[in-house]
Amino acid sequence: MTITAPECLLRLYEEHPDLEDYQGGAPRWCAGCGDNAILAAVQRLCRDEALRPEKTAFISGIGCSSRFPHYMKTYGFHGIHGRALPVAEGVRMARPDLHVFVSTGDGDCCSIGAGHWIHAVRYNMNMTVFLHDNHVYGLTKKQASPTSPRGLRTNTTPRGAYLEALNPLTVTLGVQNASFVAQAVDWIPEILYSIVSAAFHHKGFSFVRILQRCPKFLPDLFDPWLHDPQKVLVLTHDNGLQLSPGLAKVHKNRREHDPADLDRAREIASGADPIPVGILYRNPGVPCYEDLRRSGKLRTGAFVRAGLEAELDKFTIWPQGHA
């Protein structure tokens, strides 16, 4: 069988990618920001999976985490506040051949974007979603977010946050059609990468909450868990997360958890101390919305034009006597 020169070059590229092939602009996050660890894990995933940059898209909303597309040498869409998920859904419907990733923050997703978040879980479209959760609005300089702990003093809650924090894990696990839910922390890179990889390989809406440090506004928030490995509960299973021998010596607080057990996943997700880390739930049997709607059908210029004109005609005021 003969192949063309461009196909040959693409095959060579696919077989030997480097990290530099996925590194875009220099990150402008603060030194010590957990977003840097997430970026490193995702770029490593792209390299290890040999994802073609022209077949990969990163979508985001607004916030520190949403600068992610700027730092990936792939397609990217930096959207508006809270709207990353509907944009990503549109990409999936029009281009199901692309690998779609979403980076969103606890304010971007869980506040202004909460409605989109709930329905995105329900649609179960095939994409990998990273919720960068630092418990505060960072880009707009320290306001309380939906995941801020009760009592946290911020610029909008100078006497302390009044409400208990929203738990993105239990919310997601409570939505019909949830198919993959996991939690990671930025300060254990090996586990972070394993979870990112598992999320990518799951067909469906892969929701990964990543607890990440904000060294500027909440520098000490995660210190108790950072300095005491016993305060991190690692969920292991043959169909879930496995630790290397070296990491197993450090993180001895482990529990066998079958990701197929939804009730147990909800129970574990309710805990905050110790922090559960691993794959909480996975159900590959949930159908993807784009498959149900047969996305990716050819849309010619004439087809798109006819559709737009049909919609605009609904609002056209025709002169009298127009047929």
> Contacts for 52-57 with beta carbons within 8 Å, 24 or more apart?
52/10, 52/13, 52/14, 53/21, 53/22, 55/97, 55/98, 55/99, 56/98, 56/99, 56/101, 57/88, 57/91, 57/95, 57/98, 57/99, 57/100, 57/101
Give the model confidence (pLDDT) of 74-104 as tens digits. Answer: 999 999 999 999 999 999 998 999 999 999 9
Q: Convert the pLDDT of each residue in 5-29 to its tens digit.
A: 666 556 555 567 898 999 998 999 9
Any idea where the domains of the chain sit in the sequence? 16-298
User: Which residues neighbour 224 within 8 Å (Cβ) at sequence distance 6 or greater?
Assistant: 231
The confidence band for 181, taking pLDDT boundaries of 50, 70 and 90, is: very high
Please give the pLDDT value at position 217: 96
pLDDT at position 25 is 87
Which tokens belong to 89? Answer: 């859904």
Which CATH number describes the domain made up of 16-298? 3.40.50.970
Q: How confident is the model at residue 316 (pLDDT cuts 50, 70, 90)?
A: confident
Average pLDDT over residues 211-226: 96
Mean pLDDT, range 292-302, rounded to an integer: 74
Quote the DSSP letter at residue 72. Answer: B
- Segment 147-175 shows an average pLDDT of 96
Higher pLDDT, 10 or 223: 223
Average pLDDT over residues 246-263: 96
CA-wise closest residue to 146 among 94, 109, 172, 180: 109
What pLDDT does 143 receive? 95
In the predicted model, what is the mean pLDDT of residues 195-221? 97
Which of 139-143, 159-163, 172-176, 292-296 is predicted least confidently?
Answer: 292-296
> Cα–Cα distance between 45 and 197 in angstroms, integer?
6
Residue 255 has pLDDT above 50, yes or no: yes
Q: Taken in order 182, 183, 186, 190, is the CA torsion positive or negative?
A: negative
- Measure the CA–CA gap between 277 and 290, rounded to whole angstroms: 30
Ranges assigned E (strand) in the chain: 56-60, 75-78, 99-105, 127-133, 136-137, 143-144, 180-185, 205-211, 232-236, 254-256, 275-282
Banded model confidence at residue 120, pLDDT cuts 50, 70, 90: very high
Where are the strands (E) in 258-316, listed by range?
Answer: 275-282
pLDDT at site 1: 45
CA 258/CA 280 separation, integer angstroms: 8
The number of helix segments (H) and strand segments (E) in the chain equals 12, 11
Mean pLDDT of 267-289: 96
Beta strands in 175-322 (DSSP E): 180-185, 205-211, 232-236, 254-256, 275-282
> Mean pLDDT over all residues of the chain?
93
